[in-house]
Amino acid sequence: RRPGTPRGHRYRLGVMGGTFDPIHHGHLVAASEVASRFGLDEVVFVPTGVPWQKKHRDVSTAEDRYLMTTIATASNPRFTVSRVDIERGGDTYTVDTLKDLRAERGDDVDLFFITGADALAQILTWRGADELFELAHFVGVTRPGVELHSPAVGHLPPDKITLMEVPALAISSTACRARTQEGEPIWYLVPDGIVQYIAKRGLYAHPGDPSDAS
């Protein structure tokens, strides 16, 4: 039990896993909406180690993604960032993320794993899928262009999953990277501090471009 937590209250911890390359307002709105709906005490953002689904492209370093996640969440007292997936190294599997958080936070914590509709649809293909639903409740949120009630989701245990509509933000990290590479703005798609961090570090620039445009 955490200091200040009333006896009998189980601490409600949201878990938002992602590559966060970069983190954008779609991630932040999803976390905020689920926190409000489920009365979460905290949402921990967990940047992945090496994302095994994304080996076909160069992913920014774990430290850049960790720092961007920290910058973007700093102003919200209920948002935190965990390094468990980064420290474990290697491929990140959600089952490991949840086990590590459970070990770190203790048994009187309820975990709520927050995921967009696209990631939720793939859940059955994740390693350890059978164990996942014993570790956490899963909350799938709407994402523009993705069917929330996909056939795959119909096969998941209904008492372990909540599907939830959130304000639609047609933002993806892929589009943010492409826009940066093309010299198009990403202002207002990501927090101001992230625009500045990307420029400062020269992330997503065309190879050979001068790293700092400003």
Nearer of residues 72 and 141 to ligand ATP, judged by Cβ: 141
Q: Given the complex with ligand ATP, which of 89 and 145 has the nearer CB atom?
A: 145
Smallest separation, CB 4 to ligand ATP (Å): 30
Give 103 or 168: the residue with its C-beta nearer to ligand ATP: 168
CB-nearer residue toward ligand ATP: 106 or 145 = 145
Distance between CA 21 and CA 67 in Å, rounded? 11
Contacts of the segment 206-214: beta carbons below 8 A, 24+ positions apart? 206/181, 213/183
Q: Is 65 in the site for ligand ATP (CB under 6 A)?
A: no
Q: Which helix (H) or strand (E) holds 56?
A: none
Identified binder of ligand ATP from the candidate list 169, 193, 199, 201, rule CB under 6 A = 169
Positions in 130-149 near ligand ATP (CB under 6 A):
141, 143
Residue 209's alpha-carbon distances to 177, 181, 199, 206, 212, in angstroms, are: 14, 9, 12, 5, 8
Alpha helices in the chain (DSSP H): 25-38, 62-73, 84-88, 94-105, 117-121, 129-135, 151-154, 173-181, 192-201
Among the residue ranges 33-41, 81-89, 169-177, 206-214, the one whose residues contact ligand ATP (CB under 6 A): 169-177
Residue the block writes with tokens 């961007």: 68
Question: Residue 85 CB, nearest distance to ligand ATP (Å)?
Answer: 12
Residues that bind ligand ATP (CB under 6 A): 18-21, 26-27, 30, 115-116, 118-119, 141, 143, 169, 171-174
